[in-house]
């Protein structure tokens, strides 16, 4: 908030004027004053007490007087408690803010907008999306929206992992066990259909390995010799050689999966400006290996494999090209980073990827820097923690995952039951009702996954349903709907809003005024949870305000106008903040 900046500057100026000591404004610590104490903003004096050798009382009085005088009309009073200098801001300042606030321009855009790529989602085409993907999708989408809100240009991309041994596993299992069944013949969603064959593969593989061990093989040998495993390997080779039949099957099965993904993405609201397919990008980066060799960033071993030595950076030696000349994962990623940079010329590229790949991205950035690629310094890994079950990690292979579609449908169902039991939307059409259930169910889920610090792992217990009360999406949605309901009755015409504020009116005004700063913080930290917490605080504050003060039957016309305007602003702020979290807010619920 500009006001805080001004306070810092004024304090620094005062110290300079009174004590002839240079202080940078950033060195001045300004907090919101604790509720029990009189005042709005507090300057912590201790640091200066020591530096200037004055008592807190003396210093506080001198600074308080000087700062107050330098901001006439703005600061009405100050007091000193222990080492804290508390300033009271004039009601008029907040009233001016409320009066001038524009619901279409709640945020001051950043002074230096950037072009930023956000890559997220990154699904595999051998199985449906699960809870972990949901956290990724919600985070990626929200980060992109927050950056946009701040005034940046954002390019959302997705890299689809559509090739490799894991895809071949589903394909082999389909050939072996499906008898020609398709999603159309079974009526199953395509991604689930294919995912089932991935699980069938692993069941068959496990059985074969057990049998081989029983017949006397060692575990290692059995795992290598299992026929279904060898068949998958052979299929991968055929795929790479471009075998027509294999490519055909691959395309067909991937299409089934994409059909399923499209439904899920549409439902959860993920979208991408550009989708990259690994089958097109997995050969990228080969020429960069040669360049790296020429630049002596890489070196070749006797078996002709190519490596980079990162031991001086505290990491290991890392292979970038196999002895057979094929490239590895990191090489593809370097190549893709270069390609993306060429296509979009972004200032920064954010990869929303789980924290299990922290090491990989550290290496990726380092190698790109050593190769002096233009993309290098803009690479940022937004590392988020895994979603785990009380029983431990989710494993697709073993079928111990919380399926994304099931989870979303379950949430919508709960929203439906809850809404029906409350009976507040009897005038809705069937279509409106369904939309409302989707909005609330999905809102609860998204908020649940976004309200915690992205980098922390989280535990999800499928036995306990996600709450609709308290620090939740529906609570915020409800508050919005409640405000809208009130405004429908009072109207929204506002003229004079008076000249004084009650404590709750003031608290709400201050909270509203800090929205822009919170968006900047969330953008800076790439952390939507900061916005989630803000929406909750704001909604809670409004609800206290609502419980205490009447809007429609306010004590005066000015007060009524003021509170209507506060309602309008709160609703608009909640709506915009929630939108940046990917959550819609209903007009009525």
DSSP string spanning 48-97?
HHHHHT--HHHHHHHHHHHHHHHSTTTEEEEEEETTEEEEEE-HHHHHHH
Give the one residue of 1, 18, 44, 348 binding RNA; rule: CB under 7 A: 44
CA distance 468 to 452: 16
CA distance 102 to 302: 68
Q: Which residues 173-202 are close enough to bind RNA by CB under 7 A?
A: none
Distances (CA, A) of 223 to 177, 207, 210, 212, 232: 21, 11, 9, 9, 13
Closest distance to RNA from the beta carbon of 481 (Å): 3
* Cβ-based nearer residue to RNA, 122 or 154: 122
Our finding on whether 133 is near RNA (CB under 7 A) is no
Question: Rounded to the nearest 10 degrees, how much is the dihedral formed by the CA atoms of 101, 106, 109, 114?
Answer: -170
Our finding on whether 254 is near RNA (CB under 7 A) is no
* Cβ-based nearer residue to RNA, 222 or 449: 449
Our finding on whether 471 is near RNA (CB under 7 A) is yes
Nearest to 45 by CA among 71, 19, 70, 69: 19
Closest distance to RNA from the beta carbon of 362 (Å): 8
Closest distance to RNA from the beta carbon of 175 (Å): 21
CA distance 86 to 68: 11
Closest distance to RNA from the beta carbon of 261 (Å): 16
Give the one residue of 2, 17, 34, 103 binding RNA; rule: CB under 7 A: 34
Our finding on whether 440 is near RNA (CB under 7 A) is yes
Half-sphere exposure (CA, 13 Å, Cβ side) for 139?
33
Give the one residue of 33, 121, 150, 157 binding RNA; rule: CB under 7 A: 33
* Cβ-based nearer residue to RNA, 127 or 183: 127
CA distance 404 to 436: 20
Q: Which residues 384-423 are close enough to bind RNA by CB under 7 A?
A: 386, 393, 415, 418-419, 422
* Cβ-based nearer residue to RNA, 201 or 536: 536
Our finding on whether 165 is near RNA (CB under 7 A) is yes
Our finding on whether 377 is near RNA (CB under 7 A) is no
Closest distance to RNA from the beta carbon of 36 (Å): 5
Instruction: Name the phi and psi angles at 435, rounded to 5.
Output: -60, -40
Our finding on whether 61 is near RNA (CB under 7 A) is no
Our finding on whether 266 is near RNA (CB under 7 A) is no
Q: Which residues 343-362 are close enough to bind RNA by CB under 7 A?
A: 355-360
| C-beta atoms surrounding 489 within 10 Å | 8
Say if residues 388 and 416 touch (Cβ distance below 8 Å). Answer: no
* Cβ-based nearer residue to RNA, 183 or 396: 396
Distances (CA, A) of 92 to 5, 73, 284, 311, 556: 19, 8, 61, 61, 18
Beta-carbon contacts of 46 under 8 Å, excluding residues fewer than 6 positions away, are 56, 83
Closest distance to RNA from the beta carbon of 78 (Å): 11
Beta-carbon contacts of 449 under 8 Å, excluding residues fewer than 6 positions away, are 134, 135, 138, 139, 387, 458
Considering only the stretches 11-19, 129-137, 238-246, 546-554, report the one whose residues sit in contact with RNA under the rule CB under 7 A. Answer: 546-554
Our finding on whether 246 is near RNA (CB under 7 A) is no
Q: Which residues 486-515 are close enough to bind RNA by CB under 7 A?
A: 486, 489-490
Total chain residues near RNA (CB under 7 A) = 90
């Amino acid at each position: 908030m500009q006001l805080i900046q001004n306070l810092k500057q004024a304090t620094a100026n005062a110290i300079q004027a009174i004590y002839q000591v240079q202080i940078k404004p950033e060195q001045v610590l300004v907090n919101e004053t604790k509720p029990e104490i009189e005042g709005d903003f507090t300057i912590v004096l201790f640091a200066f007490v020591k530096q200037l050798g004055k008592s807190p009382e003396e210093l506080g009085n001198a600074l308080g007087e000087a700062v107050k005088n330098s901001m006439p009309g703005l600061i009405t009073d100050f007091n000193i408690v222990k080492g804290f200098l508390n300033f009271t801001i004039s009601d008029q300042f907040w009233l001016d803010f409320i009066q001038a606030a524009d619901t279409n321009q709640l945020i001051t855009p950043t002074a230096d907008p950037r072009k930023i790529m956000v890559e997220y989602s990154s699904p595999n085409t051998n199985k449906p999306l699960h809870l972990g993907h949901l956290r990724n999708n919600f985070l990626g989408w929200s980060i992109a929206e927050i950056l946009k809100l701040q005034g940046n240009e954002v390019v959302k991309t997705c890299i689809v992992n559509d090739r490799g041994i894991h895809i071949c596993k589903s394909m082999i299992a389909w050939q072996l066990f499906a008898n020609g069944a398709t999603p159309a013949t079974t009526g199953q969603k395509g991604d689930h259909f294919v995912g089932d064959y991935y699980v069938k593969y692993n069941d068959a593989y496990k059985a074969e390995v057990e049998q081989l061990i029983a017949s006397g093989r060692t575990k290692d040998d059995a795992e290598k010799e299992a026929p279904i495993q060898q068949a998958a390997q052979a299929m991968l080779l055929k795929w790479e050689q471009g075998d027509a039949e294999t490519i055909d099957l691959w395309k067909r099965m991937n299409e089934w999966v994409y059909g399923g993904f499209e439904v899920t993405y549409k439902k959860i609201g993920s979208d991408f400006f550009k989708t990259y397919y690994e089958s097109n990008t997995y050969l990228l980066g080969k020429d960069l290996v040669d360049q790296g060799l020429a630049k002596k960033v890489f070196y070749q071993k006797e078996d002709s494999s190519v490596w980079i030595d990162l031991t001086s950076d505290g990491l290991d030696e890392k292979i970038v090209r196999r002895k057979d000349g094929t490239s590895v994962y990191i090489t593809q990623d370097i190549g893709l980073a270069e390609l993306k940079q060429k296509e979009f010329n972004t200032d920064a590229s954010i990869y929303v990827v789980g924290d299990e790949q922290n090491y990989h991205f550290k290496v990726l950035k380092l190698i790109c820097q050593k190769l002096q690629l233009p993309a290098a310094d803009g690479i940022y890994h937004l590392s988020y923690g895994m979603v785990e079950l009380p029983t431990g990690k989710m494993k697709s292979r073993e079928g111990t995952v919380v399926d994304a579609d099931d989870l979303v449908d379950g949430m919508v169902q709960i929203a439906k039951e809850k809404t029906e039991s409350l009976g507040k939307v009897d005038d809705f059409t069937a279509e409106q009702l369904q939309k409302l259930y989707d909005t609330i169910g999905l809102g609860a889920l998204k908020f649940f996954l976004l309200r915690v610090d992205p980098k922390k792992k989280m535990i999800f217990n499928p036995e306990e349903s996600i709450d609709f009360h308290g620090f939740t999406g529906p609570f915020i949605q409800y508050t919005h709907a409640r405000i809208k309901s009130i405004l429908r009755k009072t109207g929204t015409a506002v003229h004079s809003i008076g000249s004084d504020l009650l404590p709750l009116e003031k608290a709400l005004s201050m909270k509203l005024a800090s929205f822009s700063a919170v968006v900047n913080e969330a953008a800076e930290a790439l952390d939507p949870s900061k916005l989630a917490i803000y929406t909750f605080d704001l909604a809670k504050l409004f609800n206290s305000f609502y419980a205490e003060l009447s809007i429609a039957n306010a004590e005066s016309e000015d007060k009524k106008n003021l509170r209507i305007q506060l309602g309008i602003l709160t609703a608009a702020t909640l709506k915009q903040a929630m939108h940046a979290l990917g959550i819609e807010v209903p007009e009525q619920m």
